[in-house]
Amino acid sequence: MGTADAINNKLTAALAPTRLMVVDESHQHVGHAGHRPEGETHFRVEIASAAFAGKNRVERQRMVYAALAEELSAGLHALALKTVTPDEDGAAAP
C-alpha cells in the first residue's frame, strides 16, 4: 500500500470524514529537504469531519498528525492541511 492510500485509510478510520482529498505533491519538491527520489514525501490533504467541531485550526491539525504518526516517522516529510467541519466545507455544497 502506498503512502496516499495509508493516509486515506487512517484518516477515514480516525475521523470519519464527509470529504477527503489526498494529493501527492512530491514532484513539486524535488531538491527540497525531505524529498526522496521515489516520492511520497509531500502531500496536500483536505478533510471535512464533524470531529473538528469546536476545535481550532491547531487542534484539528494535531488530530490529523496523531492519526498519521506512523507515516510521519517513516518518511512522510510534509503535509499541507485544510481541515474543516462539514458545515464549513464549501466544496461539499451542491
- Condensed to tens digits (0 to 9), the pLDDT of residues 4-62 reads 999 999 999 999 999 999 998 875 645 565 545 565 778 999 999 999 999 999 999 99
Spatial distance between the Cα atoms of 23 and 44, rounded to a whole number of angstroms: 5
Q: Is 68 helix (H, G, I), strand (E, B) or coil?
A: coil
Q: Identify which of 54, 53, 80, 50 has the alpha carbon closest to the alpha carbon of residue 65.
A: 80
Class of domain 3-87: alpha beta
Would you say 48 and 92 are in contact if contact means Cβ atoms under 8 Å apart? yes
pTM: 0.82
